[in-house]
Amino acid sequence: MSSAEHEVDSLEREVDRIRGNIAELVRELNHRRRQAFDLKLQVREHAGRLVLVGVAVAALIAGTIALAAARVRRRRSIKVRVTRLRDALRRMAAHPERVAEREPNVPRKLLAAGGTAIASVLGKRLAKRFVSA
């Protein structure tokens, strides 16, 4: 056997070995893919973690509801309502300009003028009907 034939045989064996490794890797990847997407298997393998996550989510929701209920209860108490009224009166005394009515802005003025004009026209028509009747 010549050196070239020996090298060809060596390369063919190397290629066959690499193909075998690739085939084995593909089989392993296929096996892992099937395991990863097998929902029943995942639930079985991670049941403890799923329960823990479920309990944590339930506790979070329950805690949020409890805090909201406590906040509502606290805001409805007489003491808090009196305190809020006292603070509002202090703010009103300190800044009365914030409490007083402000001058109407342009859209309000236009709306008032339009409403007055419509009322005037309607009033005149009604007056004519009553006078002519």
Q: Are 75 and 83 in contact (CB under 8 A)?
A: no
Q: What is residue 133's predicted lDDT score, i.e. its pLDDT?
A: 63
Dump pLDDT digits (tens) for 36-92.
999 999 999 999 999 999 999 999 999 999 999 999 888 888 888 899 999 999 998
Region 104-124: what's the mean pLDDT?
Answer: 91
Region 98-102: what's the mean pLDDT?
Answer: 73
What does the mean pLDDT of the chain come to? 90
pTM above 0.75, yes or no: no
Q: What is residue 76's predicted lDDT score, i.e. its pLDDT?
A: 85
* 26 has a pLDDT exceeding 80: yes
The 3 state secondary structure assigned to the chain is CCHHHHHHHHHHHHHHHHHHHHHHHHHHHHHHHHHHCCHHHHHHHCHHHHHHHHHHHHHHHHHHHHHHHHHHHHHHCHHHHHHHHHHHHHHHHHCHHHCCCCCCCHHHHHHHHHHHHHHHHHHHHHHHHHHHC
Region 89-107: what's the mean pLDDT?
Answer: 82
* 102 has a pLDDT exceeding 80: no
